[in-house]
Homo-oligomer: A and B are copies of this chain.
Amino acid sequence: MKIALAQLNYHIGNFEANTHKIIDAIAQARQQGANLVVFAELSVCGYPPRDLLELDSFMEQCEVAAQQIAEASKGIACIVGLPTRNPEIKGKDLYNSAYFMEDGKIKAQINKALLPNYDVFDEYRYFEPSVSTSCIDFKGHKIALTICEDLWNVNDNPLYVSEPMEQLSKEQPDLMINIAASPFAYNHDEERLQVLGDNCRKYQLPLFYVNQIGAQTEIIFDGGSLVFNEKGEVLDELPYFSEAIRYYEFEGKLVKGLQVQNLERQTDIEQIHQALILGIRDYFQKSGFSKAILGLSGGIDSAVVCTLAAEALGSENVMAVLMPSEYSTDHSIKDAMDLIQNLGCKHEIIPIKSAAKTFDEMLKPVFKDLPFNIAEENIQSRSRAIVVMAMSNKFGYILLNTSNKSECAVGYGTLYGDMAGAISVLGDVYKTQVFQLAGYINREKEIIPINSIVKPPSAELRPGQKDSDSLPEYDLLDQILHQYIELKKGPDVIIAQGFDEALVRKTIKMVNAAEFKRYQTPPILRVSPKAFGMGRRMPIVGKY
């Protein structure tokens, strides 16, 4: 039989667009002589639909869409993912399901057994875990169909007490198909190859794995769908970060005509670069916006964001606003202007000195002669937010946030000031990684001015200020943050690795104390295994 893998970009709740896209792919596959076309997990409604699943009207739209897709599957079979209602009274009201449709009819339904409920995942919030399953017979083949996490229980410390493939393998299937919504993180591609390959080796079966691509606010799906032989060797890999449909001949237990691939892995930074561009592009496209605005300081963070936005949206759709204060250095304007020239994006220069002065005067009766401190620093940062948000309100620009993960982590940013924005581009990228990204962007020619890269990072909110006045050097800071945030190590364990005790305790204290700020930051494009936002849920009023 001829199997088509359709790796597509869906839009949450946009049934019209998703259904149209799925039906188009079915028509194309039929034309190519395919017998079966496979779509991703929750392809009908998009992933993650979150609490939309609790609205009856949403579930009704899923059912209507499924009927339309079934009708379009005349003369072919397809597998789509969607939420369905649990007919039993006991248990959660929904299942995370796959429909097997054949020749115009829904022939089989498989429900997901292992429901991820960690990091950004909340599936047990909505779905009842399936306890029984069986293979699907199609054209003389027995298909073991599972949904994403169902194959992810094959490690040393399994998260679930059962494994649906154990049950399916008793029926002696000929192949596995897994439909997924597996989000990007810079280390996830390797993990995926390992886990999926382990399944092939354990059950001695080939595997067709279909992921989706596209960003859904903070969560970015990277595609990279895979075909394995029964030894867990990769026979084909679909592209990352773009849509694709590919066809395979499957006979006996073999995928025909393909060699074992030696995959060349992209570096973390190359992957992050592509993920962020897709994240920006889909945020705008799926929201119906086209124009971005950001404050351009002459520093490296806003330079990188501006460059990524220009690539994602076109430089003509990017408005960079230079807002020097009285503490801004001369080179800041020059560095920012150099970048604007390199990119060809729009710009405005709006100094904020008069705003800072006005607030100083307004507050003089209250502040009297108290010394300049963080209050006056923040007034500058917040005045900039007022300027860019006013332009956003006037012209329909969407504000991009330019804070990096190191700053977000330790709270080195001004709430309602530089922490503002509709979406945070670098909030999951440590400062040391921002430098790497800048280097990667400049790999062929100088786009980001070298001066923005080599000068010491500074918020320029008081005379001669440098980040290193308040923070440890980023090389050191980022290592400690990675231990605490990504690896969840406590202070004692980190100190035992040789880091300075006072520095570790101070860093962790800063991270914990900034929880109230992070609660109000924009959604952050997730590129690491542990991003701030939905995937990391900490108490605010706690003592720790």
Report which A residues bind B (CB closer than 8 A): 11-14, 17, 46, 48-52, 54-58, 60, 88-93, 117-118, 122, 124-125, 128, 156-161, 215-217, 282-283, 286-287, 348, 350-352, 354-355, 357-359, 361-363, 365-367, 370, 373-376, 378-379, 382-383, 385-387, 389-391, 393-394, 415-416, 420, 422, 488-493, 516, 519-523, 534, 536-544
Beta-carbon contact of B160 and A50 below 8 Å: no
Residues of B within 8 A of A391 (CB): 363, 366, 375
Residues of B within 8 A of A60 (CB): 490
Residue in contact with A161 in the complex, picked from B91, B373, B378, CB distance below 8 Å: B91
Q: A51-B537, A159-B92, A378-B393 are in contact. Are A354 and B350 (CB under 8 A)?
A: no
Beta-carbon contact of B393 and A375 below 8 Å: yes
Residue in contact with A89 in the complex, picked from B124, B157, B383, B385, CB distance below 8 Å: B157
Q: In the complex, A156 Cα to B89 Cα: how many Å?
A: 8
Residues of B within 8 A of A118 (CB): 125
Beta-carbon contact of B355 and A362 below 8 Å: yes
Beta-carbon contact of A538 and B52 below 8 Å: yes
Q: Which of A13, A282, A376, A534 has the most CB of B within 10 A?
A: A13
Beta-carbon contact of B394 and A375 below 8 Å: yes
Q: A117-B125, A359-B386, A386-B386 are in contact. Are A286 and B541 (CB under 8 A)?
A: yes
Residues of B within 8 A of A393 (CB): 373-375, 378
Residues of B within 8 A of A54 (CB): 488
Residue ID in chain B nearest A363 by CB atoms = B390
Beta-carbon contact of B516 and A422 below 8 Å: yes
Q: List 13 A-B contacts (CB under 8 A).
A: A11-B542, A14-B543, A56-B493, A57-B493, A89-B156, A216-B539, A283-B541, A355-B362, A366-B394, A367-B390, A379-B386, A382-B389, A386-B386
Q: A350-B366, A492-B57, A520-B521 are in contact. Are A13 and B386 (CB under 8 A)?
A: no
Beta-carbon contact of B90 and A161 below 8 Å: yes
Q: A217-B541, A542-B11 are in contact. Are A488 and B55 (CB under 8 A)?
A: yes
Q: In the complex, A379 Cα to B358 Cα: how many Å?
A: 14
Smallest Cβ distance from A396 to chain B, in angstroms? 11
Residues of B within 8 A of A91 (CB): 158-161
Q: A50-B537, A359-B390 are in contact. Are A542 and B14 (CB under 8 A)?
A: yes
Q: In the complex, A491 Cα to B283 Cα: how many Å?
A: 26
Beta-carbon contact of A350 and B373 below 8 Å: no
Residues of B within 8 A of A362 (CB): 350-352, 354-355, 387
Beta-carbon contact of B282 and A544 below 8 Å: no
Beta-carbon contact of A287 and B541 below 8 Å: yes
Q: In the complex, A352 Cα to B362 Cα: how many Å?
A: 8
Residue ID in chain B nearest A421 by CB atoms = B520
Residues of B within 8 A of A383 (CB): 386
Residue ID in chain B nearest A390 by CB atoms = B375
Beta-carbon contact of B12 and A541 below 8 Å: yes
Residue in contact with A358 in the complex, picked from B92, B287, B354, B374, CB distance below 8 Å: B354
Q: Which of A216, A361, A520 has the most CB of B within 10 A?
A: A520
Q: In the complex, A4 Cα to B92 Cα: how many Å?
A: 36
Residues of B within 8 A of A58 (CB): 490, 544
